[in-house]
Amino acid sequence: MTPHNNAPKGAFAKTVLMPGDPLRARFIAENFLENPVLVNNVRGVQGYTGTYKGVPVSVMASGMGMPSIGIYSYELYTQYDVENIIRVGSAGAMREDMELGSVMAGMGACTNSNFADQYELGGTFAPICDFDLLMAAVESAKELGVKMPVGNLYSSDTFYDAAGRNARFGKMGVMAVEMEAAALYCTAAYTGKRALAICSISDNLVTGIELPPEDRQNTFTNMMKIGLEIAVKMANK
């Protein structure tokens, strides 16, 4: 057990889906997993383990921001023998043609965070996803008939963009902004594990349109299905 997770050893599956919102974790468990069991609820960060198509799968919230997902992913990788973490979260589109509720996968994650400074690398580290997970996501999206562009995310330490960085990252071809992927990718690299961020578009920063909070919690099902299909593919490798 850790200060943030009171699940016993072996309570988590090898693949964990990780939304930011604890209520989204519960939604995935109750609507997609067979026989889900609540294995952690410290600080209300709900973690469940069940099965999907006969494959053990866990889902646990990460909380909001890079420090939070850094804690939970590190503990899952190092204390609970988790191999794959798939972030299933929301992001703000920085391209006009990205529709609300559409899905994208983050091949890389730019950031304004100093999260990677803890490793004292003496240079700039480029956080990227695991290729096997990405290929499994692309294959799963095609099988499900879901259009899922792949590109760069911008993981920001700040939700309110006072400096106007979002637009400048958008000019560099970055597809969407969120707050967790870069830390997850760094943690996976440091621990020798796998990570991928799949995001549903909750708002479009170019057009100014956005989804209400309840829709963000309960309607991003294509992203959830892709994540679950990845777990099946990784179990059968």
Three-state SS at 85: strand
Residue in 90, 106, 123, 103 with CA at minimum distance from that of residue 184: 106
Which pLDDT tens digit goes with each residue over 56-110?
Answer: 999 999 999 999 999 999 999 999 999 999 999 999 999 989 999 899 999 999 9
Range list of β-strands (E), 1-142: 15-18, 34-40, 47-52, 55-60, 84-93, 103-111
Domains of the chain: 15-235 (3.40.50.1580)
Element (H, E) at 199: strand 194-204
Q: Assess whether 203 carries a catalytic annotation.
A: yes
Tell me the two tokens of residue 141. Answer: 């999206």
Average pLDDT over residues 42-67: 95
What are the backbone dihedrals phi and psi of residue 80, each rounded to the nearest 5 degrees, phi first?
A: -125, 10
Which pLDDT tens digit goes with each residue over 153-195?
Answer: 999 999 998 888 999 999 999 999 999 999 999 999 999 999 9
Q: Which of 21, 130, 203, 215 is catalytic?
A: 203
